[in-house]
Amino acid sequence: MNVTDVDLKELAHFLVKAKTHTYAAGGREVRPQRPGFKELEFRDGEWEYRDSYAGYYFAPGQEVVRLKSVPVWAMAYSGGMRLHALRCGEEDLTKRTFAFLKKALLKVDASRPFRGPGTFTYGHLDYVDSNSGDITDFTGREKIFYRGGEVFAQKYMGGLIIHKTVVIRPNVSSRTMRS
C-alpha cells in the first residue's frame, strides 16, 4: 500500500472504542510481541490497536494503532505509583488506585482520546488529566490523588505516524499532508 487515508474523526472514535475494550475494561492479554511485556489488543474492521507495557508499580508502555496493517498513530506513556504512596502502610492502596484509574480511563472521549477525562472523583480518589495539542500531536500528564495526596503520576505523548506517503483528511483543519 502506497497511500493510507487517515480520517481523524474515525481514528478518534476507534481509539475510544479500543481503549474501552482493553486495559480499562479488564480486556484479555494477548501473546506479547516483546518478551516481558503485557499486551492487549483490539480490532475493528481494518483498524487494529495494541497496548504494550512492562512493570506494575511503574509501568512504561506504548499504544499503537494500525489501519490496513500500517501504523498510523502512537502514544508512549511512563509513570506509576509514587514511591511515598508505596510506603504509606496501606497494602491495598495500589490495587484501589489502579481500579480507580481504570474507571477514569473508561470515560475517555473522542474530543481528547488520549487518557481519561479532565477530572474525575470517586470516593477519596481524584483523577486529574491535563494535556496540550490534538490527536495529531499531543503531550499530557495524569495524576491521581488519595485524600489530597498525590499517589500516582504518569506522562504521555504521541500523535500521528507520518510515513513517506500519507494523505490525512483531518476534521481539525483542512490541510492535506504529503511527503
Tell me the per-residue pLDDT of 14-37, one tens digit each, with 9 for 90 and over: 999 999 999 999 998 999 999 999
In sequence order, which residues have a C-beta less than 8 Å from that of residue 6 and are 6 or more positions away? 67, 72, 73, 160, 166, 167, 168, 169
Mean pLDDT, rounded, for 148-172? 83
Mean pLDDT, rounded, for 134-160? 97
Please give the angle made by the CA atoms of 138, 142 and 144, to the nearest 5 degrees: 175
pLDDT at residue 87, rounded to an integer:
75
In sequence order, which residues have a C-beta less than 8 Å from that of residue 112 and are 6 or more positions away? 131
Residue 158's pLDDT band (cuts 50, 70, 90) = very high
Tens digit of each residue's pLDDT (9 = 90 or more) over 113-143: 999 999 999 999 999 999 999 999 999 999 9
| Unique residue bearing C-alpha cell 500516582 | 152
Q: In this model, does residue 1 exceed pLDDT 50?
A: no
Q: In this model, does residue 3 exceed pLDDT 70?
A: no
